[in-house]
Amino acid sequence: MLIETTAAAPRIRVEVPPDFHQVPLERETEARTASQLQVLDEMGLSQADQREALSLYLEGLAVRLTTANVGGSAFCAVRLDGRPSTATLTVGLQSIGTLDRGLAVLGAAEALRRDPRYTNVAVVELGNQAAVTAVAERSLASNESTDGRRAVLREMLAFVPVQGHPWAVLLTLATPCLEDWDTYVALLLDICRSLQIERPEPSLLR
Amino acid sequence: MQQLPLVGAEVQRIGSAFGTASQELSGAVNRLGDLPVDTVGTPSCDAAVSSGLRDLRTALARLQATAEECVAVLVRHGGPAGGEDLRQGEPT
Amino acid sequence: MRADVILGFDPTPADTNALVAVSDGLRGAVRALIEARSGLDRLGRTGSVWDGSAGAPLAALLRRFSQQASALEESLVDCLHAVDGWRAGVDARQRQVAEIVATVAELGDDPAATTRRTRLIAMARELGVDHERAAADLSAAFEELSASIQQIVDPHDDLAAELDRALLALAAAVEEWMADQAPELLRTALTLGEIAGLTTVISELIGIAALGRNPGEDEGVAEVVAKSPGSHRLIKALRQQWLDVAPVELPAATFAVRRSAGLADALAGRRGGDMERTEPC
C-alpha cells in the first residue's frame, strides 16, 4: 500500500499487521473504488445502506487525506479478550532539518512536553534507535453517552527519526477501547521497530 | 540557562550512572584503606605493595571525586521535574 | 612452631590472612570499576540520544571516564594475578618450611643430627632465596601498577567542567532545534490525531464502536462528509446506530507481523472462544 508524500522524503516501509485495513488513498478513482470495495468485503458488511455509508465515508476521508500531511491511515476491527476492539493507525513524515537523530529526539520530546495536549512524554529505545512517545486524549462526544461514560479517543504518538535522513516518521495509534490500551501501545512500538528505508516508493505494508 | 526538564530526564540517567560509579568507587576506596599491607611478604615487598595500594586508592578516590563532581553538574542541569516524565521499561 | 625461634630466622615471611585480605580488596576494586563504567557504557552506545553531533561531546566524556576505569581495571587484574601467584607460592614454601621447622625441632640438640640439621637449615635458606625472588616479582607488579596509574589518571583532568560546557551547548542546540522545527512538528502531530479521530468513525459505521454520539456533529467529520460524493445520505447514515448490523463475527486479533515479547505478553490469554455476537467496545 502506498503512502503519498513529498519527493524529497525518504521512502519508508513499516510493517503493519494484517488485522489493519488501510483507508484507500489511490490517486486514480477506479483503483481507489476497487480498494474501497475490498475493504467493505473484508469487513463482511451485508446491509446495503451500511455498505453505502462506509463507502461514502471512505471516499470523503480519502479526499480529506490528500490535503493533510499524512502518509496513510488504517484501522482494525478485531476481537480481543472476547470483545470487539478497534484502533486506528496514522502515519506521516516530518522534516526535522538535521541528520542528528539524538538532537531531534531530545528536541521533539521537549516540544511535546511543553504542549499541554500531551502527557507521559518519554524518550524510549526501540532496538538501535531512540524515539519519543507521547499520549493524548480527545473527547469524541460533547455529552456523556447513555451509560454515563464519556467517549474518549486515546492516542499514542511516536516520533522516530530516520537514520541518514533529515526526516522523522510520526505514527499515531488511537483507540476508544481503553481497556485494550496496553496491547495497542505494545503494537505501536513493534510497528515503530519495523521501520525501514525503502526504494522506490514509500509504503505502508501489511 | 533555561531548564529542559525532559532533556533533563535523559541527563539524569547519566547522573544516575555517575552516582552508581561514585558509590561503587567510594566503597572500594574504603575497603582498600583497611587492608593490612605491612605483613604481605618481605619488608621491601611490603613497601612496594603499600605504595602501589596507596596509589591505587588515590586513583580510585580521584575517579570517585570526578564522578561526584559530574553528579553535581548533572543535577544542576537536570531540573527537578526531569525525573517525573521518565518512563520505566525501555529507557535509553 | 615459629621458624625464627627454631631456625633462628624466618625464610618465608608473609601473613596469609593479610594476603587473602589484599587479594579480596583488589578483586573488590576490579568489581567496583566494572560496575562504575557499565552504566555509562550502556548510555553512550550507538542509537542512544547521545549518538549524534549534538550529543557527541557528552558521549565522548562518558567514554573518557569509562576508559579510565577500564584501563585501571586492566592494570589491577595484572596485579591481582601477581598477588594470587605470590599467595600460591607462599602457601607452598611455608608448608615446606613448616616441615623443616618441625623436623629440626624434633632433632633438638642431638649431636648425631648436626649434619642433617645443617642440611635442613640450608634448605630453608634456599626457600628463603626463592621467596625473596618471588617477592621481587610481586614488588615489580605493584610498581608497575603505580606507574600505570600515573599514565591513566590525570590529576588535572577536569571532566566535570567539560561536562558542564557540553550540557550548556546541548541545551542551546535543543532550544535552537525546537525554535526551527517544533511548530511544524506539533502541527503534523495534531493532524495525525485528527485523522485518527476521523478514521475511528469507520468503526462506528461498522457498528463495533458505540461512542454515544452523532459523529456528523464533529467539525472534522462534517468536513469529510462535505467532501463525500453523497453528503446527504452520509449525514443520514451517521445519525443511525449501527450496532444491530455489526459484523456477527470479528476475527481474533493476531497483530502477527513482528510480535515482540511485550506484545505477546499483552495478548497472552486473550484468545477466547468465538463470539456469538459482537458488542461494542
Question: Using CB atoms, which chains have 3+ pairs under 8 A with C?
Answer: A, B
A55 belongs to a structural domain: no
Match 577500564 to its residue by C-alpha cell. C70
Which amino acid makes up residue A119? T
pLDDT at B88 over 50: no
Residue A203 confidence (pLDDT): 54
Residues C62, B67: C-beta atoms closer than 8 Å: no
Residues B6, A113: C-beta atoms closer than 8 Å: yes
Residue C258 confidence (pLDDT): 55
Average pLDDT estimate for C25-54 = 89
Q: In DSSP terms, which residues pair with A2 in a beta bridge?
A: A203
pLDDT at C59 over 70: yes
Average pLDDT estimate for C195-218 = 80
Residue C38 confidence (pLDDT): 92
A4 belongs to a structural domain: no
Residue B52's CB is within 10 A of a number of other CB atoms, namely: 26
Cα dihedral across residues A93, A98, A100, A105: positive or negative: negative
Listing DSSP states for A46-64 in one string gives --HHHHHHHHHHHHHHHHH
Q: Regarding predicted confidence, which is higher, B12 or C138?
A: C138
Question: Could you tell me the pLDDT band of residue C272, with boundaries at 50, 70 and 90?
Answer: very low
pLDDT at C35 over 90: yes
Question: Using CB atoms, which chains have 3+ pairs under 8 A with A?
Answer: B, C
| Closest residue in A to C261 (Cα–Cα) | A186
Question: Could you tell me the pLDDT band of residue B8, with boundaries at 50, 70 and 90?
Answer: low
What's chain C look like in SS3? CCHHHHCCCCCCCCCHHHHHHHHHHHHHHHHHHHHHHHHHHHHCCCCCCCCCCCCHHHHHHHHHHHHHHHHHHHHHHHHHHHHHHHHHHHHHHHHHHHHHHHHHHHHCCCHHHHHHHHHHHHHHHHHHHHHHHHHHHHHHHHHHHHHHHHHHCCCCCCHHHHHHHHHHHHHHHHHHHHHHHHHHHHHHHHHHHHHHHHHHHHHHHHCCCCCCCCHHHCHHHHHHHHHCCCHHHHHHHHHCCCHHHCCCCCCECCCCCCCCHHHHHHHCCCCCCCCCCCCCC
Residues C181, A143: C-beta atoms closer than 8 Å: no
Residues C257, A61: C-beta atoms closer than 8 Å: no
Residues C252, A125: C-beta atoms closer than 8 Å: no
pLDDT at B86 over 90: no
The domain segmentation of chain B, as residue ranges, is 5-77
Q: What is the ipTM of this complex?
A: 0.89
Average pLDDT estimate for C98-111 = 91
Residue A199 confidence (pLDDT): 61
A33 belongs to a structural domain: no
pLDDT at C280 over 80: no
Q: Regarding predicted confidence, which is higher, C187 or A202?
A: C187
| Closest residue in C to B26 (Cα–Cα) | C32
Residues A138, C200: C-beta atoms closer than 8 Å: no
Residues C33, B28: C-beta atoms closer than 8 Å: yes
Q: Is C197 on the interface with A (CB under 8 A)?
A: yes
A106 belongs to a structural domain: yes
Q: What is the pLDDT of residues B20-66, one digit of tens each?
A: 999 999 999 999 988 888 888 888 899 999 999 999 999 999 999 99
Q: What is the CATH number of the domain that holds A116?
A: 2.60.120
A60 belongs to a structural domain: no
C211 vs A60, A145, A186: nearest CB: A145
Lowest-pLDDT choice from A55-59, A117-121, C137-141, C185-189: A55-59
Domain extent, residue A161, equals 11-19+71-205
Q: What phi, psi does A93 have (nearest 5°)?
A: -110, 145
Question: Could you tell me the pLDDT band of residue C281, with boundaries at 50, 70 and 90?
Answer: low
Residue C210 confidence (pLDDT): 67
Measured in angstroms, the CA of B61 and the nearest CA of chain A are apart by 33
The answer to whether C251 and A79 are in contact (CB under 8 A) is yes
Question: Could you tell me the pLDDT band of residue C158, with boundaries at 50, 70 and 90?
Answer: very high
Q: Alpha-carbon distance A190 to A174, whole Å? A: 15
Strands A203-205 and A11-15 come out as: parallel
B7 vs A106, A124, A125: nearest CB: A106
Residues A109, B7: C-beta atoms closer than 8 Å: yes
Q: Regarding predicted confidence, which is higher, C57 or A81?
A: C57
Q: Is C139 on the interface with A (CB under 8 A)?
A: no
CB pairs B-C closer than 8 Å: 174
pLDDT at C276 over 70: no
Lowest-pLDDT choice from C37-51, C132-146, C255-269: C255-269
Residue B87 confidence (pLDDT): 35
Residue C252 confidence (pLDDT): 82
CB pairs A-C closer than 8 Å: 332
How many domains in chain A? 1
pLDDT at C63 over 70: yes
pLDDT at C77 over 90: yes
Cα dihedral across residues A181, A173, A77, C220: positive or negative: positive
A127 belongs to a structural domain: yes
| Closest residue in A to C237 (Cα–Cα) | A53
Q: How many CA atoms lie within 13 A of C149 on its CB side?
A: 23
C253 vs A73, A75, A79: nearest CB: A79
- Give the best residue of B6, B26, B70, B75 to mutate against chain C (max C CB count within 10 A): B70
A125 vs B4, B6, B92: nearest CB: B92
pLDDT at C33 over 90: yes
Residues B6, A106: C-beta atoms closer than 8 Å: yes
Residue B4 confidence (pLDDT): 55
DSSP state of A2: B
Q: Alpha-carbon distance C267 to A148, whole Å? A: 29
The domain segmentation of chain C, as residue ranges, is 3-157, 179-267
How is domain C3-157 classified at the CATH fold level? Ferritin (1.20.1260)
Taking 70 as the pLDDT cut, the residues of chain A under it are 1-8, 141-150, 199-206
Measured in angstroms, the CA of C140 and the nearest CA of chain B are apart by 8
Q: What is the pLDDT of residues C216-247, one digit of tens each?
A: 778 888 888 887 887 778 887 777 777 666 66
| Closest residue in B to C14 (Cα–Cα) | B41
Name every chain B residue with its beta carbon within 8 A of the beta carbon of C33.
24-25, 28, 60
A99 belongs to a structural domain: yes
Name every chain A residue with its beta carbon within 8 A of the beta carbon of B86.
122
B49 vs C17, C142, C168: nearest CB: C142
Measured in angstroms, the CA of A41 and the nearest CA of chain B are apart by 40
pLDDT at C79 over 80: yes
A61 belongs to a structural domain: no
Question: Could you give the residue ranges of the DSSP H alpha helices within chain A?
Answer: 29-43, 48-66, 101-114, 181-193
